[in-house]
Amino acid sequence: MEKKQKILFYGYGNIGRQDDGVGVVFSEQLSKWVEDNNLQNIDFDSNYQLNIEDAENIKNYDIVFFVDASTKESVNNFDISSIEPNSDVSFTMHAVSPGFILNICSEIGEHQPKSFLVQIKGYEWEFQQPLTAKTENNLQKTLIFFKKYLKKLLIEKKIEEIDLKSLLKIKND
């Protein structure tokens, strides 16, 4: 069996539809920073949307961050929440949820990575590029947070202790 990697960041959305693609841009930019800083055991992936085969991909990780754009009023800049497996079977494969992917992974992969949903606030969804200025600002705030968090994690070597509480504590500091 393939050796498990530690952390996966999975950004998804349509980069051709303005802020919808912020998760993908996040993944690209954090990936470059991780490479420049030679950090190990952190992988990146991205796609238009979540697909059923992602259940097979995430089984190789201990921790997965799904990164998506959000229209929710309650999201201020960006938000992080835990994901639990769910049976929310969507009526279309255009809108598969991270909890659904986690459920499939649990069923067929017999492994359930600790998973979080990172939602970055978006505003416009037309057939255009690039991100709006407001979402770009939210993206940078999210990147600053994760750079700070990953450095701290890797220095302290406490990856196993990642949980929502520790993530939110740093976010709110």
56 is an interface residue for another protein by CB under 8 A = yes
From the list 1, 40, 94, 165, which residue makes contact with another protein (rule: CB under 8 A)?
Answer: 94
131 is an interface residue for another protein by CB under 8 A = no
119 is an interface residue for another protein by CB under 8 A = no
Residue-by-residue DSSP string for the chain: -PPPEEEEEEEES-TTSGGGGHHHHHHHHHHHHHHHTT--SEEEEEESS--TTHHHHHTTEEEEEEEEEE--TT-SSEEEEE--------SSGGG--HHHHHHHIIIIIS---EEEEEEEE----SS--S--HHHHHHHHHHHHHHHHHHHHHHHHT-GGG--HHHHHHHHH-
Q: How many residues bind another protein (CB under 8 A)?
A: 30
From the list 6, 33, 48, 75, which residue makes contact with another protein (rule: CB under 8 A)?
Answer: 48
For residue 120, list its beta bridge partners. 69, 78
168 is an interface residue for another protein by CB under 8 A = no
Instruction: Specify the stretch interacting with another protein by CB under 8 A; choose among 76-84, 97-105, 148-156, 165-173.
Output: 97-105
88 is an interface residue for another protein by CB under 8 A = yes
Residue tagged 């959000």 (tokens):
70
107 is an interface residue for another protein by CB under 8 A = yes
97 is an interface residue for another protein by CB under 8 A = no
Q: CB nearer to another protein: give 119 or 167.
A: 119
Contact 79, 29 (CB under 8 A): no
73 is an interface residue for another protein by CB under 8 A = no
Provide the binding-site residues for another protein, judged by CB under 8 A: 14-17, 24, 46-49, 51-53, 55-57, 87-89, 91-95, 100, 103-104, 107-108, 125, 127
